[in-house]
Amino acid sequence: MLGGKNILLGITGGIAAYKTTFLVRLLIKAGANVKVVLTESASSFVSPLTLATLSKNPAVTSFIKEEGCETDWNNHVDLGLWADLMIIAPATANTLSKMANGASDNLLLAVYLSAKCPVFFAPAMDLDMYKHETTKISFNKLKSFGNIMIPATSGELASGLHGEGRMAEPEDIVEFIKEYLSTGLPLKGKRVVITAGPTHEAIDPVRFIGNHSSGLMGFELAKSAANLGAEVVLISGPSNFSIEQDSVTLVNVISAEEMYAAAHEYYEKSDIAICAAAVADYRPKTIASQKIKKTKDDFTIDLVKNKDILKSLGDIKKDQFLVGFALETENELENAKGKLKKKNLDAIILNSLNDQGAGFASKTNKITFIDKNLQIKPFELKTKAEVAVDILNEILIRLDA
């Protein structure tokens, strides 16, 4: 949900500022790009150097910045426009009052007034300040502006008192924002199973039969589905790609047998299944327990057919929307239509190795989307990230029909 998002974190001068180091780490782990703006007083509670190190971006405190012998300025407008969302945590009573009344006496407030994105604020103050009428007015005014309040919790406060006013914990802030952003997304509440990458069929302990699939198409599909609100299970054969979105569960497999078992384990409770993996059609009949020595000029391996994962899912399909891929080199359209019917699919994605820039080991792909009613929609050559969006949009159109 936060993958690829530009998040601007504003930190004000409260003791809860120490928690923002954990908040930055969680946002980075969720795949976000993070920049930090602090008030001058906030830097007394948490080090800008620490935040800069964690965020991998400068943590700024004032309009003026000095680099060696040169003096420049931090552009509040650029920072505000860069952000996809802004979080102010902790938000002290002082800063909240200034935000509510349009005051702009520091860089953080100027950035807030320049921001065009959703703004979340997490109040943090002592219980009497939290309940004060002027604080309530600030809360209500900010919410009327469209800002989103992350409520404080009850607990032990810096004063030693116990009550409401404690800033929400970093993990709760992240979950609150993810839940807010996912509301209304088209795949919210849906479970999507995706297979990706090649399978490796062992010959002996050091050799295998495989193919050139990198897994990129499946990983991009998983990212796009997660960004649309889905809970995703990504079943991947050996691949160099990784994924860190919290709503994606990565299941690593090696062989076609392992992928078959994993696909059937998660398929029953899925709403959508997309089989983008390049599964080996055959495997060695026997696997040598020791490395096979090079002793003969000729060498023969007896192969047996692997289970057809896609067809086996089509055979037990109930309400799932099942999508397959067809990588063809000749009679492309007719072969894809044949697989669509034979395997009881709702749609099939046709690739042709005759199209330059399509297929394995490429960052681009050129597809034709064919549904079970034989509606055919070709697409131009695009990046695989863009192709993933196109595929999911076509699925959504048919789910809503």
Kindly list the distances between the CA atom of residue 286 and the CA atoms of 253, 282, 300, in Å, as whole numbers in the listed order.
20, 12, 12
What CA–CA distance (Å, rounded) separates 289 from 69? 67
Strand-pairing partners, residue 352, are 328
User: Residue 264, exposed/middle/buried by CB under 10 A (0-12, 13-18, 19+)?
Assistant: middle
User: Do 312 and 264 touch, CB atoms closer than 8 A?
Assistant: yes
Instruction: Render 321-356 in DSSP notation, one character per residue.
Output: EEEEEEEESSSHHHHHHHHHHHTT-SEEEEEETTST
User: Residue 24, exposed/middle/buried by CB under 10 A (0-12, 13-18, 19+)?
Assistant: buried
Strand-pairing partners, residue 6, are 33
User: Do 37 and 113 touch, CB atoms closer than 8 A?
Assistant: no
Nearest one of 232, 229, 195, 230 to 215, comparing CA atoms:
195
**Residue positions counted in the chain:** 401
User: Do 3 and 177 touch, CB atoms closer than 8 A?
Assistant: no
User: Residue 337, exposed/middle/buried by CB under 10 A (0-12, 13-18, 19+)?
Assistant: middle
344 classed as catalytic: no
Helix (H, G, I), strand (E, B) or coil at 148: strand
Candidates 94, 211, 335, 344; catalytic one: 211
Cis peptide before 90 (omega within 30 of 0): yes
Q: Residues with Cβ < 8 Å from 114, sequence gap 6 or more? A: 76, 77, 79, 80, 81
Which residues form the catalytic set? 211
